[in-house]
Amino acid sequence: MLKTILVAMTGFDSDRVALETAFLAGRPFEAHLQCLHIRPGPGQLVSRIAATDMPGAINDEVFEALRQEDNTRTEAARRSYDEFRERRGVPIAETPPGPKGVTAAWEERLGDDIEETIAQARFHDLVVCARAPNSSGLSLGAIGAVLIGCGRPVLLAPSHAPENLAPTIAIAWKESAEAARAVTASMPLLQKASRIFVLAAAEGNRNPNEMVESAERLRNQLRWHGLVVEARGVVQGGREAPDAVMETARDLGADMMVMGGYGHSRIRELVLGGFTRHVIREASLPILMFH
């Protein structure tokens, strides 16, 4: 069951999509949405100035420009939050238990976007992020860092607000610990689905028949939970595996896709697997990932 959802608010238009995606995920469970906006502290602003390689004489001007940019983004994030609550009729709840139905709260913190999001994510059942411009903290690489570092499932919102999440769900399956964890993490939403498709694409030198057999084994396991599940092999047909899987999911009418998040992190270095990187960059469906 999903009862607390962290929504990463960046101050860009993508916040509206993140909020709608989080609302759809939380509505079946009457979940609480903790809407978090990270503001850079003085140390982060100084680091940004250093990165610009500007002469010291104009550092004060650069500092003020960055501070104004932060104020603008904070105001935009708060405006998206307020408009969302009004549109959806979502009440504020600062402490549990809140009223019935989806509730929300606004929170601002100072610090590094990525590190603070990771730290706060560990106290929630799910994290919802949306792709923001590369100049922002939660760009492609930052979302990957949150995915690998937070220990919680991450729901990546698409570029446009989805209408549904659970009626039809596709699982991008391969025999790996990451994919198995993703299935476990998504079980609350899978149990709300009317149809589930387990999709397996042969990668590398893997025998396609073995991949289909593996998908069928997962199908049978999920059927023990009373779920309506089909297994499908994905024919790449000259396409890259991520494109083939995502296009097959769309053709089947999937509202959301579940997959493992592949990669590793060494200190501040992030290495994402090719499939994960491609999906984070290109996916047009909501994607629930777990590392």
Domain ranges, ordered by start, for the chain: 4-157, 168-290
For position 279, what pLDDT does the model report?
A: 73
**What token pair was written down for 220?**
């049978």
Question: What CATH architecture is 4-157?
Answer: 3-Layer(aba) Sandwich (3.40)
The ranges of the chain with pLDDT < 50 are 57, 267-271
**pTM listed for this prediction:** 0.88
Structure confidence by residue, pLDDT tens digits, 219-231 = 999 999 999 999 9
**What token pair was written down for 25?**
């995920």
For position 106, what pLDDT does the model report?
A: 98
Question: What CATH architecture is 168-290?
Answer: 3-Layer(aba) Sandwich (3.40)
Cα separation, 211 vs 257, in Å, equals: 18
For position 98, what pLDDT does the model report?
A: 87
For position 52, what pLDDT does the model report?
A: 56
Single-letter amino acid code for the residue at 241: A
For position 271, what pLDDT does the model report?
A: 47
For position 240, what pLDDT does the model report?
A: 79
**Burial classification of residue 161, based on how many CB atoms lie within 10 Å of its CB (0-12 exposed, 13-18 middle, 19 or more buried):** middle
Identical fold between 4-157 and 168-290: yes
